[in-house]
């Protein structure tokens, strides 16, 4: 049973790939049917049951025969995470991760939203990560939060990225600061917990009521056109 695992199906780009292999004096064609990355969900013994498939041999001129073949049972001993995890640690935060917070603007106007992204990328299962929440910030309105995760294979490793996006709208003139956020995870290769912190971000906010400088309107009669000509009088509207 695979109930004890978080399953990432990686068959999309590899299913059906073939390889010529030699066993003794004979050559065979090896076909990859499925490929999964399994992430244990709890400590203790876990079992991967045999996978079964029907194989049909023979062809147009020979008798067809069907064989049922299966893989061996695989037994695992899943070790628990070490004690003394840092504050705020979530058990799904396992892997080797980089952590950062970004913004699409460093200067904006009152009422104009800024997109803030909290991002973790690296080796591991991004779908299980729990990213830190962006706290309430005085003088702003927080809305339209969205989570997204993507993963892929790089060699024999699962790598990916998880992003939590926020729309942050300033409500008054001045400046707002996105505080430093911390992200804790367990690195299985190093065998230790690690914590990474983002850099604070300051965003300047200007007042929307300020009159734009250097811009006015005037009506200009186009040369060569008179009011007695066909149609109505024609004017050009200039913005300067």
Per-residue model confidence as pLDDT tens for the chain (240 residues): 677 787 877 777 666 788 888 888 888 888 888 888 888 888 889 888 888 888 888 777 788 888 888 889 999 999 899 999 999 899 999 999 999 999 999 999 999 999 999 999 999 989 899 999 999 999 999 987 899 998 887 777 788 999 999 999 999 999 999 999 999 999 999 999 999 999 999 999 999 765 444 444 444 444 444 444 444 434 343 333
Give the side-chain half-sphere CA count within 13 A for 131. 29
Question: CA-CA distance, 204 to 120, in Å (whole number)?
Answer: 26
Neighbours of 140 (CB within 10 A): 19
Question: CA-CA distance, 6 to 15, in Å (whole number)?
Answer: 20
**HEC per residue, 154-203:** ECCEEEEEEEEEEEEEECCCEEEEECCCEEEEEECCCCEEEEEECCCEEE
* 237 touches 222 (CB < 8 A): no
* 159 touches 122 (CB < 8 A): yes
């Amino acid at each position: 049973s695979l109930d004890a695992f978080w399953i990432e199906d990686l068959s999309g780009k590899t299913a059906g790939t073939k390889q010529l292999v030699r066993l003794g004096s004979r050559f065979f064609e090896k076909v990859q049917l499925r490929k999964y990355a399994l992430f244990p969900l709890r400590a203790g013994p876990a079992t991967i049951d045999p996978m079964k498939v029907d194989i049909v041999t023979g062809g147009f001129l020979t008798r067809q025969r069907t064989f049922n073949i299966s893989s061996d049972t695989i037994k695992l001993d899943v070790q628990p995470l070490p004690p003394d995890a840092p504050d705020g640690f979530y058990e799904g935060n396992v892997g080797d991760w980089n952590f950062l917070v970004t913004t699409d603007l460093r200067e904006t106007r009152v009422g104009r939203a800024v997109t803030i992204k909290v991002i973790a990328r690296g080796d591991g299962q991004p779908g299980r990560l729990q990213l830190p929440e962006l706290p309430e910030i005085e003088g702003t309105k927080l809305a339209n939060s969205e989570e997204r995760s993507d993963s892929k294979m790089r060699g024999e490793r699962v790598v990916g990225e998880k992003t939590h996006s926020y729309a942050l709208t300033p409500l008054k003139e001045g400046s707002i600061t996105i505080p430093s956020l911390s992200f804790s995870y367990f690195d299985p290769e190093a065998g230790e917990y690690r914590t990474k912190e983002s850099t604070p971000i300051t965003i300047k906010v200007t007042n929307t009521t300020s009159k734009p400088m250097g811009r006015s309107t005037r009506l200009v009669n186009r040369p060569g056109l008179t009011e007695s000509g066909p149609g109505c009088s024609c004017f050009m509207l200039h913005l300067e």
